[in-house]
Structures are given as structure tokens and as C-alpha cells.
Structure 1
Amino acid sequence: MLEHPPNPELSTTSLIPPTPAGFKSGFIGIIGRPNVGKSTLMNQLVGQKIAITSPTAQTTRNRLRGIVTTDTAQLIFVDTPGIHKPHHQLGEVLVQNAKIAIESVDVVLFVVDGSVACGKGDRYVAELLAHSQTPVILGLNKIDLQAPHTASVLDASYQQLAGEYNWQLVKFSAKVGTELSNLQNILIENLALGPYYYPPDLVTDQPERFIMGELIREQVLLHTREEVPHSVAIAIDLVEETEKITRVLATIHVERDSQKGILIGKKGLMLKNIGSAARQQIQKLIAGKVYLELFVKVQPKWRQSRIRLAELGYRVEE
């Protein structure tokens, strides 16, 4: 269950203790191409699932903050959408928000896929970061997938990149958890002395309704894969809590009738499977029983409309 006060947006100073001597804090932007493991990394660092993960690229849409508090520091990780060439209005909003995050954090953790050599996409992100005044650490993820006979060659391609920009390079595996304590220590070293920005027991600044919607969207991606890729948005219509069960009603928005048909499936089986899997995840989130009812609605070209994007919670962040 997420540990946060009833309304995380209204955290009071009474929940925040004074900081001990030498305490450090700051915001760390997790930046990189789509599907390099940014959300998996944040979940591992925070110690529980707050960001959805999927084999499908560009899973993350909103800037999601994960909070790690130790005896000596508070690290606020900002998970961002993968930086890519946008093909629609939604893509432009996502990439713009990722760029804004670069300038609004104290340290950038530039995550790359260490199982493949440095490519054009990585260099594109590197050039964006080079124009920023924010300190950058290059994080070489997925080292568990490196073959022994190619590891040195793969590492060398990123060592060259780090050398060009004078960046520190750290190797780790977000999935397995290898070297994450070392990564966390290096990030703390790069933070300045600072206060608690959030109560020590808080793990995210997002309300449970947002996380519920993301968990439903994750199951849509996992069950439909390429058939209904990014034409999906989730609206939580109702959350009704009783002593015994939490009732959740949600609408899955898609762009075409054919996508609606795929999501519902033969005799409603696909929607039932998505709902069952999402319900199990939401029950873990709130640590209680959940009744989940899903509806599917067609919203033609919602990703191309700024009005529709805003209605569904997607807008360029300040």
C-alpha cells in the first residue's frame, strides 16, 4: 500500500521533522530513450511499484515522482517519458515535458540500455543534455543482459560518450537490482545540503486514483501489445470506499471502433482478463479488496486534440 497522508497534495509541515546535520536532498530526473528501463529503475529504488512497466516503448506519459528517504538524504526521482521523435500531439506533449524536467531538477540520471551499443538515439539525448546546466550522470542499465564476450565493447561505446561530455558513468541492472546501492550513493554525493521536501514515509506525490489508472493502462498494454498500442487513456470515474471493499469504475478511451472490439474481445473475455489482472494490482496498492468495473469508449483522434488531451490529464507541465 502506498504510504501517504489522505491527501498527498496537502502534506503539512507537522509531518516533516527537522533535518539532521549534513542532510542532503534534491530532485533527480531519470532521462533517456523509450524502453531503457527508467520506470523499472524507479520502482526498484523506491522499493515498491508506483510506475507502470511494459515491453511496449513509451509507456510512461506523466512526470511521476518517486521518493526515497534515508537517514542522510531524501532523493526525489522524476520519471519522464522516453525522448523520441514525436508523431502526434500527445508525443509532442510528452517529449516537451521530458525536456522541461531536464531544467527543473538538481541532477540528471541519463539512463541507457547497456545490452546494446550506444546509438543515434542516445547521442540525440546526450546533445540535449549538453545544452543544459544540470549535472549529468550516465547510467548504464541492463548489464545483466550483456554477454561476457561483448560486454567490454558495449561498455566502451558508452565510456566514449561519457568521456566526450565529462560525465560520470555508473553500471547497474534495474531489473535484477545489481549495483543499485552504489548508484544511490553516487546520486547522494551529487546532491547539495537541503531539507525534507516530503514527509519521510511518502513514496510518491501522486494520488491513488492516478496510480489506479496507470495500473489499468499497464494491463491493457500487456494484454493487447501492438494491437492497441498508445491509443489508450484511462479515466477513473468513481472510487467509492466502504469498510469491506473499494468500488472503482473506470473508462478506457480508444480512438477507433476496431480497438474497442479488440479490448472487449469475444464474449467480453479480453476486458474481463484485463479487469481481473488490474484488480489484483490495485488490491496490492490499497491493501484491501477491490471491485473494478471497466467501460470502453471511442474518442476519435484524441491524441491529436489539445482539448481531449487536457480532459484526459495530458498537458505541457509548467
Structure 2
Amino acid sequence: MPQRTGFVAIVGRPNVGKSTLLNRILGQKLSITSRKPQTTRHQILGIKTEDDIQVVYVDTPGMHKNQEKAINRYMNKAATTAVKDVDLILMIIDRTRWTDEDDMVLEAVKQQRAPVVLVVNKVDFIQDKNDLLPYLEKVSKRHTFDQIIPISAKTGHNIDRLEHLIESYLPENQYFYPEDQITDRSSRFLAAELVREKIMRQLGDELPYAMTVEIEEFKHDGRIIEISALILVERASQKRIVIGEAGSRLKQIGQDARKDMELLFDCKVMLNMWVKVKSNWSDDERALRSLGYDDQ
């Protein structure tokens, strides 16, 4: 059988479950997740190769209206460029709630030539399943979507059906990536993202988006990986929050991140972390570029 390969963009407003969906499809954790909106800040490719089919998923930051800081503008740009030149767009929305930001995503999607499948996520939360059909009918009037499919990325409900649907849109093509490759991102990038996820999960609203992580050292001697991670915050008060009472919080973040890294890299990990204040990094174009927020 001929090989079929294509690019599929996963787009939506913040916190609708785009990264959870990608991780579910890949069967492993690649994109970081938390309950906080805007957890994903970069485009990240997740590659799934099975039988004669290779799907290259593009996970994107949530499109949002807040454009105040350079980092917000960067995230919106990363999301809008991801939908160009793909074979299929999956627009993810939350069950039974359509917002202004969904309108914004839809406007960006309408300007593309690729077919659009509307994916209604988190249907496992709907108490009365009879509420779902009228909602699906209502959203179908917003745009002529190629398909509408309800799923739960968290429980895996209807994911098989979604994957079969995706495959039907893929053109005949040689694989773009080796069969065993699952992402275009470096191990360094993935390590930084895992540390950032743990901070976001630990700190909730205390330290929203004024934090980023830079990997200063990543050494692999075949048996053990040594990683040095620098956590950057914008104010001294935030530094105290990340470190916690007698370093307790930083220690917990480190333990949680190390566990996930050992799973991901299939290797023992030694993780060292520091916290440093770099004021206003999130609104400084040059600082953002040096921290890897570029137009990849």
C-alpha cells in the first residue's frame, strides 16, 4: 500500500484540551498540560507513524484576545502561522460553551484552504447527554465545517473515530520523518517544558505567566542525564514563591519534573534548578528570542 502523510493543525482558544488531545493520540506525554490557560506557548510537532500512515500534528498555543505583552503576541502568531499549508485543521472547542475567543479562532481558520473538522471536547463532563445534540446543531450553523465530532481527550472517548477521520484527509506521500521520531523538538526543549508544567501545576494563580525555564546544561553519558534548569521570574517576590518555605516548593517541583523526565527519556536523571529574577522578560522581544520564543 502507498504511504500517506500529512500535517494536521490542532487549534482553539486557551484551555480547551489541545495538548491533552495530542498526548492521548500519541499515547505518551509530549505537550505539557495544566488547568491554567496558555500553558502551551510554542508550536510543537507530534508525529504518529503507524502501518502506512504518518500524521504530523501541530499543537499550538491557545489563541487569545490579550495582546498586551510581547509573549502574548508571540503565542497568537505561533497559532495563526500553524494553520497555513496544513492538510487538515482540527478546531477544538469546549462542550456547550462558545466564547468570543472561539469566534477569533474561527475567523483565522476561515481564511485557510484546508478542510476544518470541529472537535467538541470534554463531553465526559456533560451531565445530560440530551444537551449535546442541540449544541452540535447550534455550532454547525456558525460555519460549514467538514465534520463535527464530539470527543473526550481525557477519557479517550471517540478518539479512534477521530483518528480514522483524520486519516481519510491525508494525501499519498512518502513519510516526512523517520518512523521512530515523535517530535521535532529537542530533549532540552522538552525538559524545560516539563519543569514549567510542574511550576504551573504547583503554583496555580500565584505565578501566572511571569515565569519561563531555560536549560543551561544537558549532559548524557549513556547511563544518566544531568540537567541544569534556570527558572526565570520577573520579580523578587515571585522568586520567593517558587522556592517556597525553606526550599520546599522548589524541591517538590524538581521531584515531579524528574519523574516525568525519566519516563520520557527512559534514563536516570539528575536535575539541578535555580531561580533568577529577570525583570520584564515577557515583554522584551530580544529577551524572548534569546529564550527560544522565535518564529519557528
User: Which TM-score tier does this pair reach, normalised by the shorter chain?
Assistant: over 0.9
Matched-pair identity in %:
35
Q: Deviations over 1:32-77 (max 9, x none)?
A: 0000000000001111001100000011111100011121311000
Number of residues of Structure 1 aligned to a counterpart in Structure 2: 294
Q: Deviations over 1:122-169 (max 9, x none)?
A: 1221122112212211111111111215323332332323xx324311
> CA shift at 1:209, angstroms?
1.0
1:64 aligned partner, one-letter code: I
Q: 1:51 aligns with which of 19, 22, 31?
A: 31
2:253 pairs with 1:253: no
- Residue of structure 1 equivalent to 2:55: 75
- Residue of structure 2 equivalent to 1:152: 133
2:245 pairs with 1:266: yes
Q: TM-score, normalised by structure 2?
A: 0.96
- Residue of structure 1 equivalent to 2:204: 225
2:68 pairs with 1:87: yes
Q: How far apart, CA to CA, are the structure 2 residues paired with 1:243 and 1:165?
A: 52
Tell me the SS of whatever aligns to 1:150. helix
Q: 1:168 aligns with which of 147, 150, 153?
A: 147
- Residue of structure 1 equivalent to 2:97: 117
- Residue of structure 1 equivalent to 2:109: 129
Q: Deviations over 1:58-114 (max 9, x none)?
A: 111111000111213110000000000122100001101111111132211111112
1:47 aligned partner, one-letter code: G
1:214 aligned partner, one-letter code: E
Q: How far apart, CA to CA, are the structure 1 residues paired with 2:295 and 2:76?
A: 9
2:45 aligned partner, one-letter code: R
Q: How far apart, CA to CA, are the structure 2 residues paired with 1:70 and 1:299?
A: 44
1:144 aligned partner, one-letter code: D
Q: TM-score, normalised by structure 1?
A: 0.89
Which consecutive residues of structure 1, in runs of 5 or more, have no partner in the other structure?
1-20
> CA shift at 1:244, angstroms?
4.1
2:120 aligned partner, one-letter code: L
Q: How far apart, CA to CA, are the structure 2 residues paired with 1:268 and 1:167?
A: 52
- Residue of structure 1 equivalent to 2:3: 23
Which consecutive residues of structure 2, in runs of 5 or more, have no partner in the other structure?
none
Q: 1:142 aligns with which of 96, 104, 122?
A: 122
Q: How far apart, CA to CA, are the structure 1 residues paired with 2:287 and 2:194?
A: 21
Tell me the SS of whatever aligns to 1:41. helix
Is the contact between residue 118 and residue 145 of structure 2 (CA under 8 Å) also seen in structure 1? no
- Residue of structure 2 equivalent to 1:284: 263
Cα gap change, 1:166/1:110 in structure 2, threshold over 3 Å: closer, same or farther?
A: closer
- What RMSD in Å do the two structures reach over aligned CA positions? 1.3
Q: How far apart, CA to CA, are the structure 1 residues paired with 2:151 and 2:237?
A: 41
TM superposition outliers: structure 1 runs of 4+ over 3 Å: none
